[in-house]
Amino acid sequence: MTQLENLNQYFTENRERHLDEMKAFLAIPSISSLSEHKDDMYKAANHLSDLLTAAGMENATIHDTAGHPVVTADWLHAEGAPTVLVYGHYDVQPVDPVELWDSMPFEPEIRDNIMYARGSSDDKGQVFMHVKVLEAMLASDEKLPVNVKVIFEGEEEIGSVHLDQFIADHKDYLKADVVLISDTSLYAPGKPAVVYSLRGLTGIQIDVRTAKGDLHSGMYGGGVHNSIHVLADILASFHDENGHIAVEGFYDNVLPISDDERAAYAELGFDAEQMKEEAGVKTLFGEEGFSYLEQTWARPTLEINGVFGGFSGEGVKTVLPAQAGAKITCRLVPNQDPHEIVALLRAHVAKHQPEGVDIEITEFDKGKPFIAPFDHPYVQAAGHSYETQYDQKTAFIRSGGSIPIVSTFDEILAAPVIMMGFALSTENFHAPNEHFHLENFDKGLRVVSDYLTEIASIEKI
């Protein structure tokens, strides 16, 4: 038998025990946002630490933070081989409204080979899967093909509040050649997906003031500035008629979408009708010259999230509003820098600021975009490993959203981050009846085993 055949047999023989252990882990109500569960967070961290030690991992440690604890462990005896840092989170979302659950959220239950419990797919089930891969490898071979470090946090669902600092403080310990995360979804049932890029985020609030107070539109109308007119001109100036952002320099550092990526997205068979139905829109609309997937994954945006000014009650009030404002956020793509983009936005607004009108800019938080090199061997290897278990070609996709912690790993550790998920987007994350298809747990064990084995043979970069 090959090493992978051995592992396969191990997973099959130990499946019942593994699922029982998964249930025990899921039964701990590790809801990070509710203070009454503070002790449960430690309970879950301890439980996870014990699982790691039982798997054969070394130095399992529970680190206190100003919030919930971080769990780390390692196995570093694969001399000369790459080091993989596995990240995941053991905290879960609240369960309300609990009456909509068919079985209790913290009494895990398997029905039709599907595990029902809060955290089953997001992300305790996938964290557990990684631990079991390590256990299987260490049990059947007494070693791992690569060096492995794990870092599991308890604050992902509340914004990873203390993890940036933790990573910075433990930079040397966490050093790795690749970061592996299973907290995303397959592209579709049976269709695996590597997420290799995320958009960043930044934003500003624009507050326009034209007078000390609102003015009577009969007396002054036509002879003084109207704050909403000034604001509307600024807001309209942000895009041209083709959906292109008209802020000077905005696209300067945008990494072009490679031909390979374009071809890969086109192959995914994007269904516009289904997307319109899902979003509740009559038409799709975006930057000319790019497909919907390119627009939402690989192109930056400038979106007005809110606008306010003057009278918004019922009926009419003939007022010249003295103040108006808007909130704007930009999704950024590699290699845009949030600070640079905010500077460009400021310059753009200043260019459209009429004489005698006050404009105040407030900056929002900044998160950098992330991309792993599309053709990096560690990225491509993830696709191959998926394909050993799934019948379909791996989709290499981006995500239009922002997960700031990924950029932190990328930046502080300077290692490519590979997002290989095994959930399905339909598995009710954050909602009642969260579940995890155990078919993907079973395949995930084998895919991750294959991946660790495969990258052991890739020359370190």
Q: Name which of residues 180 to 199 contact its own copies (CB under 8 A).
A: 199
Dist CA 207 CA 124 (whole Å): 43
Q: Which of 261, 133, 278 is nearest to 194 (CA)?
A: 261
CB of 254 to its own copies, least distance (A): 12
User: How crowded is residue 279: how many other Cβ atoms within 10 Å of its Cβ?
Assistant: 9
By C-beta, is 273 or 355 nearer to its own copies? 355
58 sits near its own copies (criterion: CB under 8 A) = no
Contact assessment for residue 354 and residue 225, using Cβ atoms and an 8 Å cutoff: yes
Amino acid (1-letter code) at residue 328: I
**Beta carbon nearer to its own copies, 30 or 210:** 210
Nearest approach, Cβ of residue 367 and its own copies (Å): 11
Contact range with its own copies by CB under 8 A, out of 12-20, 278-286, 406-414, 434-442: 278-286
- Nearest distance from C-beta of residue 53 to its own copies, angstroms: 37
Looking only at Cα atoms, what is the longest distance across the chain? 91
Task: Choose the stretch contacting its own copies; rule: CB under 8 A; options: 77-85, 248-256, 358-366, 446-454.
Answer: 358-366
Find the part of the chain contacting its own copies (CB under 8 A) among 47-55, 146-154, 250-258, 290-298: 290-298
SS3 at position 181:
strand
Distance of CA 360 to the CA centre of its chain: 32
**Contact region with its own copies (CB under 8 A), list: 40-48, 98-106, 145-153, 351-359:** 351-359
**Subset of 207-236 contacting its own copies (CB under 8 A):** 210-213, 215-226, 228-229, 231-233, 235-236
* Residue 424 binds to its own copies (criterion: CB under 8 A): no
| Burial classification of residue 30, based on how many CB atoms lie within 10 Å of its CB (0-12 exposed, 13-18 middle, 19 or more buried) | buried
Q: Which of residues 383-402 bind its own copies (CB under 8 A)?
A: 399-402
User: Binding-site residue total for its own copies (CB under 8 A)?
Assistant: 80
C-alpha 449/C-alpha 460 separation (Å) is 19
Looking at beta carbons only, is 191 or 244 nearer to its own copies? 244
Nearest to 302 by CA among 345, 340, 343, 335: 345
Q: How many CB atoms lie within 10 A of CB 181?
A: 23
Q: Which stretch binds its own copies (CB under 8 A): 65-73, 96-104, 204-212, 442-450?
A: 204-212
What is the DSSP secondary structure assignment for residue 256, as one 8-state letter? P
Of the candidates 15, 159, 161, 287, which one interacts with its own copies according to CB under 8 A? Answer: 287
> What does the alpha-carbon distance between residue 146 and residue 378 come to, in Å, rounded to a whole number?
13
Query: Counting Cβ atoms within 10 Å, is residue 223 exposed (0-12), middle (13-18) or buried (19+)?
Result: exposed
Give residues 294-313 in contact with its own copies (rule: CB under 8 A): 295-296, 299-301, 303-312
Q: Taking the complex as a whole, how short is the minimal distance between the CB of residue 120 and its own copies, in angstroms?
A: 22
Residues in the chain: 461
Q: Is 324 in the site for its own copies (CB under 8 A)?
A: yes
**Shortest distance, position 260 Cβ to its own copies, whole Å:** 21
Intra-chain end-to-end CA distance of the chain, in Å: 31
Minimum CB separation of residue 217 from its own copies in Å reads 5
Residue 22 touches its own copies, criterion: CB under 8 A: no
Shortest Cβ 419–its own copies spacing (Å) = 14
Q: Closest separation between CB of residue 398 and its own copies, Å?
A: 11
Measured from the CB atom, the residue of 80 and 356 that comes closer to its own copies is 356
Complex with its own copies: residue 200 or 444, whichever CB lies closer:
200
Residue number, 178 or 198, with CB nearest to its own copies: 198
- Closer Cβ to its own copies, 35 or 283, answer by number: 283
Contact yes or no for 157/460 (Cβ under 8 A)? no
Asked whether the bond before 164 is cis by omega within 30 degrees of 0, the reply is no
- What angle, rounded to 10 degrees, do the helices at 15-26 and 38-55 form? 160
Relative to beta strand 319-320, strand 215-216 is antiparallel
> What does the alpha-carbon distance between residue 195 and residue 379 come to, in Å, rounded to a whole number?
9
87/103 Cα distance (integer angstroms): 29
Chosen residue from 80, 256, 269, 280 binding its own copies by CB under 8 A: 280
Q: In one letter, which amino acid is 176?
A: A
Using CB under 8 A, pick the residue from 36, 39, 279, 459 that binds its own copies.
279
Residues 233-262 that bind its own copies (CB under 8 A): 233, 235-239
Tell whether residue 322 is a contact of its own copies (CB under 8 A).
Answer: yes
